[in-house]
Structure 1
Amino acid sequence: MGGPRFEPVRTVRAYERVVEQVEEAIESGALSPGERLPSERELMVQFSVSRSTVREALRVLQARGLVRSRPGDPNGAEVLPFSPAALHKSMTTLARVAELSLGELVQFRMVLDGAAVLLAARLRTEEQLAEMGAAVAAMRAAAGTDEEAFGAADVAFHDAVARAGGNKLIQICTDVVRSIVVKLIADRIAAAPDREELMRRSIRHHEEVIAAIRAGDGPLAARLSRKAMYDYYAGYVGEGERSALRALLE
């Protein structure tokens, strides 16, 4: 039979509509940080819903870091200022539930890290460059002896690079995507027989990227970063998705 194919309609619960309207008011600036929502009783009247619906909506808004609601407070919930921590939480939830494949996450990480090192090569300070060097020195000290310290130093390197680029959204996205990817393949990394060699190769890659950043060569730093990530993760990604990763290599 021809014609369009329709999707089943999802029933929207009342509290979701309340959440949507409050989110829209915050995003549009109609509600500013520090201001308060009307009281629970007033919200019941305005939305024409039950107290339990209002409370469920407030729980969701609080979980998303948009408002702070105290039990028994006679005033309405307080609208919170923008928080990188709230965005971090939202993005983590999105990345986990959006049915993204490992290949898509790795590809996104290649894009993000490539952009971060490109910016770092052009904008970094001497202090930030020293931070990156100290992180790689810590990786070298931990290689083969302390995997946890090695991982922490690796995270510190990428954080220093993202901070040097100066873009908070890139910092948050790289952190979220990195932690999810690492969790997804943690067991396979731990079981790798050549774990120590992987660490040493990782250190060499980081040193090459730092040299390009120090020289101010953004395109080279970005190319090296994407290639290092491809070399590290391609083996964990199915053959069908590898071509999507290779598309980012020049």
Structure 2
Amino acid sequence: MSHTFEPAVPVHTYERIVDQIERAILSGEIPVGAQLPSERELMVQFGVSRPTIREALRILQSMGLLESRPGTRGGPVVLAPSAKTLSRSLRALVGTDAVEVADLVEYRVILEGSACRLAAIKHDDGQLSRMSVAIDRMERDAVSNADSFADADLEFHEAIWAASGNQMLQLSGEAVAGVLLRLMQRDAAGEHHDNRVKLESARIDRGLFAAIEQRDAGEASRIARQAVANRFAPLLTAEADRRALAALAE
């Protein structure tokens, strides 16, 4: 039985340089605050031209891992990876075609279910008040102000992510939510402005808020998973993806 290979994907030389330097920084081999060698020295070490080195350094700086400081001799300075750096990377990844829509939807189900479970356990009064204000605004503006409703909807979920106490869930939620909402608006623009849809969304979120307020972690997770699955299932075309989504929502 013969094996079928996939087409080879060419890799630019500067990408290999980025990978090596990134691994060295993240592993601690090159410590925070250290300077990389000069461009000339890097050219010799990697055996490449100056434009290739500059492109690699440009990408690493855009990733927030390096910073050029005028007046210093040698190469750019290594920065500590930050939450902001991770957030930018996540937004860039999910905002392209590199991630399948089905993967994004499945991840959002897992993310919301986990975030709501943790929020039900960890929330404080201030976070609960923030959710309550957002829910009241959603119900008030569902019919009269679509933009205000959308802002309040996002505010409600951001409050939940914050109440989870998990920074990774918060960053992931912010990155994935925006992309999925844009897809939903593009593929079902009419439905997005349907008052019945907004009113139903507010009703579901009111139930979710009640579960979180009562610290019913299991019920909060269940409501969140099913709400996300039902909302974004229309974006999936493959039957296998729909079955997988339904299983995650249970």
| TM-score (normalizing by structure 1) | 0.90
The 5-angstrom pairing of residues 131-210 of structure 1 reads 131-192=130-191, 195-210=194-209
Partner of 2:248: helix, strand, or coil?
coil
- For the aligned residue pairs, the C-alpha RMSD in angstroms reads 2.1
Distance 1:6 1:67, change over 3 A: same
Distance 1:160 1:99, change over 3 A: closer
Partner of 2:248: 248
Contact 2:17/2:56 (CA < 8 Å) preserved in 1?
Answer: yes
Provide the C-alpha distance between the structure 1 equivalents of 2:14 and 2:22, rounded to a whole number of angstroms. 12
Provide the C-alpha distance between the structure 2 equivalents of 1:193 and 1:123, rounded to a whole number of angstroms. 32
Distance 1:239 1:52, change over 3 A: closer
Distance 1:14 1:232, change over 3 A: closer
* Identical amino acids, percent of aligned pairs: 39
Partner of 1:97: 97
Partner of 1:144: helix, strand, or coil?
coil
| TM-score (normalizing by structure 2) | 0.90
Shift of 1:51: 1.2
Partner of 1:85: 84
Partner of 1:31: 30
Partner of 1:220: 219
Shift of 1:239: 6.2
Shift of 1:168: 1.1
Contact 2:109/2:224 (CA < 8 Å) preserved in 1?
Answer: yes
Partner of 2:45: 46
1:169-207 residue CA offsets vs partner (Å, 9 max, x unmatched): 111111111111111121344312871111111111111
Partner of 1:222: helix, strand, or coil?
helix
Distance 1:35 1:142, change over 3 A: farther
- List runs of 5+ in structure 2 lacking aligned partners: none
Contact 1:132/1:157 (CA < 8 Å) preserved in 2?
Answer: yes
Shift of 1:72: 7.8
Letter in 2 for 1:98: A
Letter in 1 for 2:182: K
Provide the C-alpha distance between the structure 2 equivalents of 1:161 and 1:193, rounded to a whole number of angstroms. 22
1:136-171 residue CA offsets vs partner (Å, 9 max, x unmatched): 122223222222221111111111111111111111
Provide the C-alpha distance between the structure 2 equivalents of 1:47 and 1:188, rounded to a whole number of angstroms. 46
Partner of 2:225: helix, strand, or coil?
helix
Letter in 1 for 2:138: M
Partner of 2:191: helix, strand, or coil?
coil
Partner of 1:33: helix, strand, or coil?
coil
Deviates more, 1:209-218 or 1:148-157: 148-157
Deviates more, 1:165-174 or 1:6-15: 6-15
Distance 1:193 1:156, change over 3 A: closer
Contact 2:63/2:85 (CA < 8 Å) preserved in 1?
Answer: yes
Shift of 1:27: 1.2
Contact 2:146/2:193 (CA < 8 Å) preserved in 1?
Answer: no
Deviates more, 1:158-167 or 1:27-36: 27-36
Shift of 1:214: 1.1
Contact 1:109/1:178 (CA < 8 Å) preserved in 2?
Answer: yes
1:88-126 residue CA offsets vs partner (Å, 9 max, x unmatched): 22223322232403x332221111000000000111111
Distance 1:25 1:239, change over 3 A: closer
Provide the C-alpha distance between the structure 2 equivalents of 1:58 and 1:190, rounded to a whole number of angstroms. 41
1:229 aligns with 2:228: yes
